[in-house]
């Protein structure tokens, strides 16, 4: 794998189950591990039980025989190898994991399995969990401007902590991350949600946001931005919708979602300033109508 950051970020192996965004995040993380970032290396070595061994090889999306493509494979100087599963959203596909485990257990040196995700303490055995919050903590205080930019990326684009201007909401992962983060804080770490967007038309959307569940029920709530006009224009409203349960401060269903058969809507009006976590939290509180 190239040492060039941008070459790494552009690489994508055919047959991988990773989304392009997940692949981007994985390659960026691998870049800092390859460069010898001391705290990040210590974080993964501790989770993998590698002790003080030096990290020798970092492979992005290696093929593990017939099992398919792993996200990361770390090899330490003593021969220990670690399969790393990288997840950047809830409900990631884990169907390949048993196959990866089976191949790795055939190696002469006993492997380790590490799962990097949004939650702190949830991973199926034998995977050892670490979180993107742990990665953020490992990056904290690094004077390298590139490391600082990656830290900012993890904070906003993966963890959803920080405001999101409308143009970034429409063009990056930040609105999805903001929605997921707000829902996890509101519902709990076991929250179920998925990214939900209409097909873009000339860079505009009818809607863009997150469908989610409350209290382990079906995913019958949605939160995000909805286009103000039909035909689509440049203005959006920040809104919450419910399929079954009335909401506080209800409003009419927006025209851009006219074929969406959910009866309950509420909103905070046109987006004229950056969208913040507190705005999402304020809308989520409106689900508490009795």
SS (H, E, C) the chain: CCCCHHHHHHCCCCCCCCCHHHHHHHHHHHHHHHCCCHHHHHHHHHHHCCCCCCEEEEEECCECHHHCECCEEEEECCCCEEEEEECCCCCCCCCCHHHHHHHHCCCCCCCEEEEEECCCCCCCCCCEEEEHHHHHHHHCCCCCHHHHHHHHHHHHHHCCCCCECHHHHHHCCHHHHHHHHHHHHHHCCCCCEEEEECCCECCECCEEEEEECCCCCCCCEEEEEEECCCCCCCCEEEEEEECCCCCCCEECCCHHHCCCCCCEEEEEEECCCCECHHHHHHHHHHHHCC
- The predicted model gives 58-75 an average pLDDT of 93
Q: What is the pTM of this model?
A: 0.91
Banded model confidence at residue 185, pLDDT cuts 50, 70, 90: very high
The C-alpha torsion from 201 through 183 and 246 to 197, rounded to 10°, is: 10
pLDDT at 1 over 50: no
pLDDT digits (tens, 9 = 90+) for 256-273: 998 899 999 999 999 999
**How are strands ordered across the β-sheet holding 236-242?**
193-197, 207-212, 221-227, 236-242, 264-270, 250-251
pLDDT at 13 over 70: no
- Output the pLDDT for position 91: 82
pLDDT at 216 over 90: no
Q: Closest by alpha carbon to 211, among 185, 188, 192, 226?
A: 192
Mean pLDDT of the chain: 92
pLDDT at 2 over 80: no
- Output the pLDDT for position 14: 56
pLDDT at 202 over 60: yes
- Output the pLDDT for position 109: 92
Q: Mean pLDDT lowest for which of 19-23, 136-140, 173-177?
A: 19-23
């Amino acid at each position: 794998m190239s040492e060039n950051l941008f070459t790494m970020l552009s690489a994508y192996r055919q047959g991988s189950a990773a989304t392009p965004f997940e692949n981007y995040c994985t390659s960026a993380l691998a870049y800092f591990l390859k460069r010898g970032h001391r705290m990040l290396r210590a974080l993964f070595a501790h989770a993998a039980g590698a002790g003080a061994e030096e990290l020798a090889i970092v492979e992005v999306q290696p093929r593990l025989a017939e099992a398919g493509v792993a996200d990361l494979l770390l090899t330490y100087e003593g021969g220990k190898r670690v399969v790393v599963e990288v997840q950047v959203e809830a409900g990631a596909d884990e169907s390949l994991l048993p196959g990866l485990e089976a191949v790795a257990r055939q190696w002469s040196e006993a492997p380790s399995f590490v799962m990097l995700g949004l939650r702190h303490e949830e991973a199926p055995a034998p995977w050892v969990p670490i979180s993107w919050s742990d990665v953020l903590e490992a990056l904290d205080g690094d004077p390298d401007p590139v490391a600082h930019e990656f830290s900012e990326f993890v904070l906003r684009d993966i963890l959803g902590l920080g405001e999101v201007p409308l143009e970034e909401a429409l063009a990056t992962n930040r609105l999805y991350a903001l929605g997921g983060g707000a829902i996890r804080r509101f519902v709990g770490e076991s929250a179920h949600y998925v990214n939900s967007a209409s097909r873009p038309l000339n860079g505009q959307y009818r809607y863009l946001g997150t469908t989610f569940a409350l209290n382990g029920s079906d995913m019958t709530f949605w939160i995000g931005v909805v286009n103000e006009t039909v035909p689509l224009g440049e203005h959006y409203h920040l809104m919450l919708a419910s399929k079954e349960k009335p909401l506080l401060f209800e409003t009419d269903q927006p025209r851009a979602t006219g074929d969406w058969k959910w009866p309950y809507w509420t909103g905070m009006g046109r987006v004229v300033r950056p969208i913040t976590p507190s705005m999402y939290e304020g809308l989520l509180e409106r689900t508490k109508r009795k």
